[in-house]
Amino acid sequence: MNSLLANASSTGTAINKESLLLHCSTLPKSVAAATWSSKATMARFHFLSLLLMLMLSLAQAFLSSLSNAQGYYGSQLYPSECGERCSYRCSATHHRRPCMFFCQKCCAMCLCVPPGTYGNREYCPCYNNWKNKAGRSNCP
């Protein structure tokens, strides 16, 4: 096709429909097959990309439910997980023994420990709202 256009432009002759059709009909069949193959490849690519996006969405939903089941951000913990969570929660304090005592007491009552070593109490409403007689928070 390019050679036909180059010849026509160099000689100054116009290209008519018959010469264009004649030139296109002489294209090898492999070119036509490559065109079909690229369409099929593109369709496969779109199908696989949609499938990948579906799989990623399902994985994200699964991980989200898993993190809630493990007690992050205010969801229920198992009582056996309180020791590990309280150990991390009290790791930055110099008053480790009282911190561990009250943290485990609060975790047993609320089944929740806020993330981090300090603050973030808004993630565990029970942990945040449980007060002692003086009105101060019971939980570290």
Is residue 139 a part of any domain in this protein? no
Crossing angle of helices 17-25/2-11, nearest 10°? 150
Whether the predicted pLDDT of 119 surpasses 70: yes
Is residue 140 a part of any domain in this protein? no
Where does the pLDDT of residue 24 fall: very low under 50, low under 70, confident under 90, or very high at 90 and above?
Answer: low
13 and 57 assigned to the same domain: yes
61 and 100 assigned to the same domain: no
Crossing angle of helices 96-110/82-89, nearest 10°? 140
How many domains does the chain contain in total?
2
pLDDT one-digit tens code per residue, 34-57: 555 677 777 788 888 888 888 888
Is residue 26 a part of any domain in this protein? yes
Residue range of the domain that includes 92: 79-129
- Quote the CA–CA distance of 54 and 65 in Å, as a whole number: 17
Higher pLDDT, 108 or 8: 108
98 and 54 assigned to the same domain: no
Is residue 136 a part of any domain in this protein? no
User: End of a domain among 48, 69, 90?
Assistant: 69
- Quote the CA–CA distance of 32 and 106 in Å, as a whole number: 73
Higher pLDDT, 72 or 25: 25
pLDDT over 90 percentage in the chain? 17
Give me the pLDDT at residue 91, please: 94
Whether the predicted pLDDT of 71 surpasses 50: no
Is residue 22 a part of any domain in this protein? yes
